Amino acid sequence: MSQEIYFAGGCLWGVQAFIKTLPGVVFTEAGRANGTSPMLDGDYDGYAECVRTRFDPDAVTVGDLMAYFFEIIDPYSVNRQGPDVGEKYRTGVYSEDPRHLDLARAFIEGRPDSGQIVVEVLPLTNYVRSADEHQDRLARFPGDSCHLPRALLGKYTTNTA
């Protein structure tokens, strides 16, 4: 039975393109985590751009997913990833499953640089799917800009979630 976790790592186009190729990932969707509104329209409501990630826990662990995630983020940067600046570009891990959050925290606490890491690990309180134009954006428009190197996006191209 698959499980879900949500990763925020700056502009969601590159994050989704990377995560969808990971072993054990069976589905991805671009969205917004932990804003206050259930809709896409309106003023910024505190959300973080994120990728809803459905995975097979028999094929990949939360710890594995965290290790992959840390390959594409600057875990020391507050509200900025690459050229993308603002609260919606913060880094975070969200889940409705408290075990996922415990495992994410344990991964961070197990790193020698844990005291410098600013990745938030919080319960998912609200999720809104992004508009269709943002779903699998880089697959549909490979020339669009992305803060992640193209070589990194294709590092694990064994999957098509």
Which residue, 49, 128, 30, 126, is CA-closest to 92? 49
SS (H, E, C) the chain: CCEEEEEEECCHHHHHHHHCCCCCEEEEEEEEECCCCCCCCCCCCCCEEEEEEEECCCCCCHHHHHHHHHHHCCCCCCCEECCEECHHHCEEEEECCHHHHHHHHHHHHCCCCHHHCCCEEEECCCEEECCHHHCCHHHHCCCCCCCCCHHHHCCCCCCCC
In the set 5, 8, 11, 50, the catalytic residue is 11
- Among this protein's residues, is 50 annotated catalytic? no
| Cα 75 to Cα 68, 80, 113, 114, 136, distances in angstroms | 12, 10, 10, 9, 24
Positions marked catalytic: 11
